[in-house]
């Protein structure tokens, strides 16, 4: 499948039904899901919920969605990156509604298989999507959120240019260890991104 974005080491493309094994490997790892969900995903979960949700994005949006990331050198699956438009609101970012195709506020997301942690792929892919959001998609702001204790993800956001905006506390029905410290939200405006020379 033709990539939608190419970086120095990665190629991002749309998911297909044939990616079920990749997603089971990713979402079936408790360490990957540590700051996301108290349960890992089974093959049935992936085929019933995860893949249909990803594929549904492509039907609704031409430019946005969740994209499989592979190494350019050997086509190895490393995880996924996501961009989706949101409607800003006063409540916690994870509850913001999906926006229209020409939405001006865009959410950045990423999830990598554990074997690829520490290789700089998360930062590389995130920076490329931030650039795409501002240059091709005409976004005014890129936003992202994670648990406050997820220091690895927070570093990726910072390296991609996003800055801490606030901490929110959500009464989750099944709180994860560390939820008592809240969830953090990071943002980057077009003005600030341009002020750094688009880096």
pLDDT digits (tens, 9 = 90+) for 8-55: 999 999 999 999 999 999 999 999 999 999 999 999 999 999 999 999
Beta carbons within 8 Å of 182's beta carbon, 6+ residues apart: 147, 148, 167, 168, 169, 170
> Is 70 exceeded by the pLDDT of residue 1?
yes
Instruction: Kindly tell me if the per-residue pLDDT of 199 is higher than 70.
Output: no
Q: Which long-range contacts (CB under 8 A, 24 or more apart) does 89-95 make?
A: 92/145, 92/168, 92/170, 92/183, 92/185, 93/143, 93/144, 93/145, 93/168, 93/183, 93/185, 94/145, 94/170, 94/183
Please report, for the chain, the start and end positions of each structural domain, with discontinuous segments joined by +: 5-195
What's the pLDDT score for residue 196? 82
pLDDT, position 110: 98
| pLDDT tens string 52-88 | 999 999 999 989 999 999 999 999 999 999 999 999 9
144/108 Cα distance (integer angstroms):
5
Q: What is the pLDDT of residues 119-164, one digit of tens each?
A: 999 999 999 999 999 999 999 999 999 999 999 999 999 999 999 9
Give the confidence band of 2 by pLDDT, cuts at 50, 70, 90: confident
> What's the whole-model pTM score?
0.94
CATH number for the domain whose boundaries are 5-195: 3.40.630.30
Distance CA 43, CA 93 (A): 29
User: Mean pLDDT, to the nearest integer, of 89-118?
Assistant: 95
What is the rounded average pLDDT of the residues 159-175? 95
pLDDT at position 163: 98
pLDDT at 98: 94
């Amino acid at each position: 499948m033709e990539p939608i974005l190419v970086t120095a080491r990665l190629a991002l493309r749309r998911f297909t039904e044939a990616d079920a094994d990749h997603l089971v490997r990713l979402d079936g790892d408790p360490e990957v899901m540590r700051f996301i969900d108290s349960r890992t995903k089974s093959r049935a979960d992936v085929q019933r919920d995860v893949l249909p949700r990803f594929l549904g994005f492509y039907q609704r949006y031409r430019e946005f969605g969740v994209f499989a990331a592979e190494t350019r050198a050997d086509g190895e699956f490393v995880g996924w990156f996501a961009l989706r438009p949101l409607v800003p609101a006063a409540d916690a970012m994870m509850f913001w509604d999906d926006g229209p195709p020409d939405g001006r506020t865009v959410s950045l997301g990423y999830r990598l298989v554990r074997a690829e942690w520490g290789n700089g792929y998360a930062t590389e892919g995130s920076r490329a999507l931030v650039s795409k959001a501002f240059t091709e998609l005409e976004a005014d702001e890129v936003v992202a959120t994670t648990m406050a204790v997820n220091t690895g993800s927070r570093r990726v956001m910072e390296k991609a240019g996003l800055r801490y905006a606030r901490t929110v506390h959500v009464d989750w029905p099944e709180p994860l260890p560390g939820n008592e410290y809240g969830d953090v939200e990071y943002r980057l405006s077009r003005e600030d991104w341009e002020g750094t020379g688009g880096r």
